[in-house]
Chains A and B, each alone.
Chain A
Amino acid sequence: MNKKKVYPYWFLIIPLILYGVFFLLPSILGIFYSFTDWNARSMGEVSFVGLQNYIEIFTSDKNYLSGIGHTLMFTIVSNIVKLVPALFLAIMLQEGLKGKNFYRTILYLPSILPFVIIGITFKSVLNYDNGLLNGFLDMVHLGFLKQKWLSDLNVVWGSVIGVDAWRGIGYVMTIFVAGLGAIPKTYYEAAQIDGASFWQRLKSITLPMLTGSIMINLVFGITYGLKVFDIIYVLTNGGPGHATEVVTTYSYQLYADGAYGMSTAFNTVLLILTAIAGIFVVKMMSKKEVQQ
């Protein structure tokens, strides 16, 4: 190896400074402000209020806790809903399917659409009276399946997660496709000679060999789920009522109301949740890799 081609360590200084100034410092300041009464009127004069903001979050009549619960629920369900179908789609498209590149592109396309466009489109599609979905159900004489997709408490989360899955499956699938491509074909050929079924091959070859891709998707999916905002903001804005409020929508509202201290406290809660989940997933997956 030509030593001249290796970058010296001091090359890291600039990115580290940028990272520190624009990411680390604001994050630490955010945690600091979460213990203060900083608001739109304080004009730089903030007072230390201890854990008051956190007590407010966990004991308030406003049911902020439900927002935290919704965030965790969305994170778990949306990941299951995206990961499992994406895995099977990736396997299907990895096999000798005709026009698989075309299907891959089609499935990936929604993930490059802006959330605002998705929100406007699906709000229209899911409209109870004039929406495309209910209209279609009526047309095929399945009117009994019609729902108030975005205004019924029992259905709204399904709609949000469904739209989110529609958008995200292609992206998750692409990572799986890359992972599947790295598994040597000889393993499958040997397994087939031994008479292994599809499920046996999946369990004993595909999943263990895909650990890396699964981990990447899980980490991305969990961090995305915990900080979910856009898709909810554009589809329901936390409604109907407060049925789809999550940590970030509460944080956004509080910031908009000028309650910056409370807003940063919410963000700190989110930071803690994300850190715990991230460490847990990485540790769990590293253990598996070691075992293999």
Chain B
Amino acid sequence: MKRKMISAILCCSMAAGMLAGCGSSSAAPAASNAGSETSEASEASQAAPAASEATQDFSGEELSILVSQDWMNDCWDDVIAEFEDTYDVTVDLQTIPADQYDDTLQTKLTTDSCTDIFWIQSNPFAISSVIVDPEKYCIDMTGEAWESVIPEARLSSCTYNDKLYGLQLWTNSPEYVLVYNKTLFGELGLEAPKTYAELKAACEKISAQGITPWFIAGSEGWVQALAFFQIGGVYEEAQPGLYEALNNNTATFADNEKMLEVLNQFKELSDAGYFGADWIGATNANLDNDFADRKIAMAMANPGEISAIKEAGAEDEFGICLIPLGDNDTYPTNPAGPTMFGYNGSEHPELVKEFFRFCTTTESLQSILDKHTNWTNIAVNDENVEQHWLPQEEELISAIDTAKQQTPVLQTGTKYTNDSWGKFCEDMIAYCQGSMEANDVLKNMDSNRAESAKVAADENWK
């Protein structure tokens, strides 16, 4: 009896499932028809017709996005919400901690289980080395109208073999410079440090006040390497032709005197406790408040951090200066940044393309910029977007000789360097804790680059 009951229930559920399937397929055209009607209505009311049609086309779909912690923050919320409303879809934002992101992405790509959209820290060399096989993994966006929105200098980080794959929406500010408390510096009779000696002296004076001179959040897994890579121009100046030689595999990081000098200086500051009592275990979670409360005096950040500090209640004035390790006086030119790509294995390729289009409308770009607490501008070719450059940025840029602004930062100007960012951060910590030598940190970088080159089948490493 029981068996019969179970069989009957199963049969009913199967029949119901089949009917449900038929129902949805027959309902789809009706929805499409309704869509065209809505579209016509939208046109009449001067709303975006394409979006209205798409609303019906994509209704009920889910768009998944894999992104590292700090690349798609709250400033995207409104754009995503608007996209969800417009197209009647759901966006599943999968935010991964920065120190785990690269591993997670690579695992998802190689196991063909990636999200509809994924991000990478792109530069002119990154697409082939990080994604490895863009034609296999990325949706070809060639011919999309938004290509013209991306500035020429940044296009090389979005294209591969003349095909457009990525969309890079990032800031053009002097990236990751030293933000410092100008008022505090003034009270202590200090100027913004221009050399390592000045930096060390300032740290000593600030530390005596019980304030962390130069806060570094080591546990984030990416911050400390900025101190080394953002001053790439100083290495090129010390050894002209270094970038080219590194890209041709005729030079190494190991034994580079200027790099060793910078690492030694970094460790000296770490040993003196100038980065904080436990910088290796620290996070950026309270950065704005700590600045506002005068717990810290300097940190590597974007100029927009000044607005965030002000919003946290700071009464002090803040300025920006170059990272003076290695007596650096070169500008951190960096036409690269986090970039999003459509995953070729996505079940919703058209929705992915629609998302990219949606993100590049003037309204979306303006929303991203306005909501971003750390950005003062967004690097796009759209005159209708209102930029908010800070006077501090304009002051810094105008004070630096044009010749000192030509060399890009190390991770953008040299191949495979950025791929080992996380590992370099780990090695820097190991070096500061005394379990590695400075030159071994550099040797590891050479070895990591060689491995990336091997995977990318680079002729120069054969």
Contacts and interface: CB of A to CB of B under 8 A. Distances in A.
Given A148-B278, A253-B103, A256-B106, A239 B447 contact: no
Contacts of B452: 257
A148 B281 contact: yes
A204 B84 CA distance: 69
Interface in A104-145: 127-130
Interface stretch (A168-176, A240-248, A268-276): A240-248
B221 interface: yes
A252 B105 CA distance: 12
Most central of A238, A241, A257, A260 by chain B CB within 10 Å:
A241
Contacts of B219: 150-151, 239
A255 interface: yes
A237 B221 contact: yes
Given A153-B433, A242-B426, A257 B280 contact: no
B426 A239 contact: yes
A40 interface: yes
Contacts, number: 96
A151 B218 contact: yes
Contacts of A40: 106, 110, 132-133, 455
Contact of A259 (B433, B451, B457): B451
Interface stretch (B330-338, B345-353, B358-366, B435-443): B435-443
A258 interface: yes
A128 B423 CA distance: 23
Contacts of A258: 106, 110, 132, 455
A61 interface: yes
A62 interface: yes
A34 interface: no
A41 interface: yes
Interface in A50-75: 61-62
B103 A256 contact: yes
Contact of B444 (A62, A150, A151): A62
A213 interface: no
A236 to B, nearest CB: 9
Nearest to A127: B281
A233 B106 CA distance: 16
A39 interface: yes
B456 interface: yes
A233 B100 CA distance: 9
B436 A241 contact: yes
B282 A129 contact: yes
Nearest to A148: B278
A240 B433 contact: yes
Q: Is the contact region of chain B dominated by helix, strand, or loop, or is it mixed?
A: helix
B426 A241 contact: yes
A209 to B, nearest CB: 44
B107 interface: yes
B141 interface: no
Given A39-B455, A62-B447, A238 B433 contact: no
B443 A41 contact: no
Nearest to A134: B278
A85 B313 CA distance: 50
Contact of A242 (B435, B443, B457): B435
B102 interface: yes
B395 to A, nearest CB: 33
Contacts of A239: 219, 221, 280, 426, 429
A237 B97 CA distance: 11
Interface string A24-61: 00000000000000011101000000000000000001
Contacts of A39: 454-455
Contacts of B447: 61-62
A163 B294 CA distance: 34
A19 B110 CA distance: 24
Nearest to B435: A241
Contact of B443 (A61, A252, A255): A61
A43 B281 CA distance: 40
B99 interface: yes
Given A41-B456, A255-B107, A258-B110, A240 B280 contact: yes
Interface in A140-185: 148-151, 153
A134 to B, nearest CB: 10
A40 B111 CA distance: 11
Interface string B199-228: 000000000000000000011010000000
A149 B219 CA distance: 12
B31 interface: no
A238 B426 contact: yes
Nearest to A242: B430
B437 to A, nearest CB: 11
Q: Which of A150, A253, A256, A259 has the most CB of B within 10 A?
A: A256
A57 to B, nearest CB: 14
A257 B455 CA distance: 9
A237 B110 CA distance: 21
B147 interface: no
Contact of B281 (A41, A61, A151): A151
Given A61-B443, A241-B430, A241-B433, A151 B455 contact: no
B116 interface: no
Nearest to B454: A39
27 contacts: A39-B455, A41-B455, A61-B444, A61-B447, A62-B444, A62-B447, A128-B281, A128-B282, A129-B278, A130-B286, A149-B281, A151-B278, A233-B100, A237-B100, A240-B429, A241-B430, A241-B431, A241-B433, A241-B435, A252-B103, A253-B423, A255-B107, A255-B110, A256-B103, A257-B452, A258-B455, A259-B451
Given A61-B447, A62-B447, A243-B433, 20 more contacts: A40-B110, A41-B132, A62-B444, A127-B281, A128-B277, A148-B278, A233-B100, A237-B221, A239-B219, A240-B429, A240-B430, A241-B433, A241-B435, A252-B103, A252-B107, A253-B423, A255-B107, A256-B102, A256-B103, A258-B455
Closest 9 CB pairs of A and B: A241-B430, A151-B281, A256-B103, A128-B278, A151-B280, A256-B106, A241-B429, A258-B455, A148-B278
